[in-house]
């Protein structure tokens, strides 16, 4: 509490001593004592919460200096708590699962309601395995006899391992013996690069020379894209090109390559018209198509509607199932396939308006497909038709 202060503190009565004046001023002018510094709040101690880690402490490995752990390990966590990814490794999704969630993709599967139908009983003496063992090249070009009603069951495998094989894979065709599913190698094909950006598959019976474009040991033919949209393909054998043949030469067609097949896909922008639709054109038996630069090719004859020496086949239209919401096909020979837009069957229309399935192609797993065929196809023709289905084109898909 402040003491009473005089109106003029510098005026002191009856004293002229400076020390006395100072002592009186000190006694009369006093202030309430107080702490010049404010009281600091005491720091509150916060309870530390241990970070959650699915691994126990005794199993936790020591980290190296400078290494950061960005994502916890879920290897030892409960199954229902595991995320869809672990660590920083990329997630691999099966193509069948990916295709089921793609927009407007027409899936084709095997009919589950009825068992797969079987072809008529085969009474021919044709033995494809012995034919392969005796002369592989002759078997590749040979047409299956019409009396052999059974399918030649084959397996087509796609190899995408390696740096460049993701874009340019290698395909292998094996013959499957129906009794024990034992496989015998027939031929292989590899996708190669062209300057005009058109797809080309080099087909060979020698895997070591499969990288050679032409003329290598075991070279049997090539499948070449005929337009930029990816809707037309032409299959050639191992003969020489017509560009190397002189028109004035009387023996011009000696050694000239033959056209073994033509494949045409209908335009189907982004798959809005449903499943793929395709036509296959092959020469009639006894007719070789060896066009020079001045003659019509198989595709030229088809565009001009000239079928004197050609046989036109088409794919079988699948049936849409309201229960499964996908398109269904009935496969022969107890062959089961997974849903895929690459599944198809080729049929031959007879004069009595009956349809006969002469080829069936379907996915077994991610990189394995069945490729069964019979009359009027040869092995290289069936293999090329299956190869054409692997090109991804928005015009036909």
227 or 251, higher pLDDT: 227
Residue with tokens 């002191």: 12
Residue 294's pLDDT band (boundaries 50, 70, 90)? confident
**Comparing C-alpha atoms, which of 317, 304, 299 is closest to residue 232?**
299
Residue 55's pLDDT band (boundaries 50, 70, 90)? very low
Task: Say what the alpha-carbon torsion angle 331, 337, 339, 342 is, to the nearest 10 degrees.
Answer: -80
Q: How far apart are CA 38 and CA 89, in angstroms?
A: 57
For residue 336, the model assigns a pLDDT of 83
**Comparing C-alpha atoms, which of 265, 266, 264, 259 is closest to residue 297?**
259
For residue 33, the model assigns a pLDDT of 52
173 or 250, higher pLDDT: 173
Q: How far apart are CA 205 and CA 212, in angstroms?
A: 12
> What is the CA 267 to chain-centroid distance, rounded?
21
Which residue(s) pair with 312 in the sheet?
281
311 or 65, higher pLDDT: 311
Residue 397's pLDDT band (boundaries 50, 70, 90)? low
CB atoms under 10 Å from CB of 294, counted, come to 7
For residue 69, the model assigns a pLDDT of 42
DSSP class of residue 340?
B
DSSP SS3 for 28: helix
CA distances from 68 to 50, 55, 124 (A): 18, 17, 70
222 or 75, higher pLDDT: 222
**φ/ψ bin of 218: left (φ > 0), alpha (ψ from -120 to 50), beta (otherwise):** left
62 or 347, higher pLDDT: 347
**Are 263 and 384 a contacting pair, CB within 8 Å?**
yes
Report whether pLDDT(77) > 50: no
- Mean pLDDT confidence for 231-244: 89
Report whether pLDDT(163) > 60: yes
For residue 253, the model assigns a pLDDT of 72
**Are 187 and 204 a contacting pair, CB within 8 Å?**
yes
**Are 28 and 9 a contacting pair, CB within 8 Å?**
yes
**Are 247 and 256 a contacting pair, CB within 8 Å?**
no
153 or 70, higher pLDDT: 153
Q: How far apart are CA 335 and CA 224, in angstroms?
A: 30
DSSP SS3 for 289: coil
Beta-strand relationship, 108-110 and 355-363: unpaired
**Comparing C-alpha atoms, which of 312, 359, 355 is closest to residue 332?**
359
**Comparing C-alpha atoms, which of 260, 314, 312 is closest to residue 281?**
312
Report whether pLDDT(28) > 90: no
Share the mean pLDDT of the chain.
Answer: 76
Least confident of 28-32, 89-93, 328-332: 89-93
- Mean pLDDT confidence for 370-391: 95
Tokens representing residue 77 in the block: 């966590």
For residue 250, the model assigns a pLDDT of 53
Q: How far apart are CA 330 and CA 353, in angstroms?
A: 19
For residue 314, the model assigns a pLDDT of 95
Residue 360's pLDDT band (boundaries 50, 70, 90)? very high
**Comparing C-alpha atoms, which of 304, 289, 301, 389 is closest to residue 346?**
389
Q: How far apart are CA 150 and CA 1, in angstroms?
A: 121
Range list of H helices, 194-343: 298-303
Which residue(s) pair with 371 in the sheet?
361
CB atoms under 10 Å from CB of 352, counted, come to 5
Least confident of 203-207, 210-214, 294-298, 387-391: 210-214
């Amino acid at each position: 509490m402040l003491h009473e202060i005089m109106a003029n503190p510098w005026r002191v009565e009856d004293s002229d001593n400076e020390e006395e004046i100072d002592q009186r001023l000190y006694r009369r002018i006093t202030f309430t004592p107080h702490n010049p510094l404010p009281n600091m709040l005491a720091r509150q101690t916060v309870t530390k919460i241990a970070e959650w880690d699915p691994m126990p402490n005794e199993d936790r490995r020591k980290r190296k200096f400078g290494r950061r752990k960005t994502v916890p390990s879920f290897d030892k966590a409960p199954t229902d708590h595991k995320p869809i990814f672990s660590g920083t490794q990329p997630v691999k999704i099966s193509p069948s699962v990916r295709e089921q969630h793609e927009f407007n993709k027409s899936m084709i599967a095997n009919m589950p309601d009825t068992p797969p139908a079987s072809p008529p009983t085969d009474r021919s003496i044709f033995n494809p395995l012995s034919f392969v063992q005796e002369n592989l090249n002759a078997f590749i070009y040979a047409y299956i006899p019409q009396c052999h009603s059974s399918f030649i069951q084959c397996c087509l495998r796609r190899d995408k391992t390696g740096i460049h094989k993701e874009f340019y894979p290698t395909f292998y065709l094996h013959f499957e013996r129906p009794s024990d599913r034992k496989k015998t190698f027939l031929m292989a094909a590899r996708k190669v690069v062209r300057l005009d950006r058109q797809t080309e598959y080099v087909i060979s019976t020698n895997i070591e020379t499969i990288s050679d474009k032409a003329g290598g040991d075991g070279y049997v033919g090539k499948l070449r894209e005929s337009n930029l949209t990816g809707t037309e393909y032409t299959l050639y054998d191992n003969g020489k090109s017509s560009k190397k043949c002189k028109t004035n030469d009387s023996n011009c067609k000696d050694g000239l390559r033959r056209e073994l097949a033509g494949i045409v896909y209908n335009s189907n922008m982004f798959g809005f018209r449903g499943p793929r639709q395709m036509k296959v054109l092959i020469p009639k038996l006894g007719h070789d198509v060896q066009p020079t630069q001045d003659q019509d090719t198989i595709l030229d004859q088809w565009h001009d509607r000239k079928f004197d020496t050609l046989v036109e086949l088409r794919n079988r239209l699948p049936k849409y199932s309201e229960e499964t919401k996908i398109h269904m096909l009935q496969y022969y020979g107890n062959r089961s396939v997974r849903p895929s837009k690459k599944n198809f069957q080729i049929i031959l229309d007879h004069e009595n308006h009956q349809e006969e399935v002469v080829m069936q192609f379907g996915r077994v797993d991610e990189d394995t497909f069945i490729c069964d065929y019979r009359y009027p196809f040869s092995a290289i023709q069936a293999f090329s038709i299956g190869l054409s289905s692997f090109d991804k084109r928005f015009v036909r898909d």
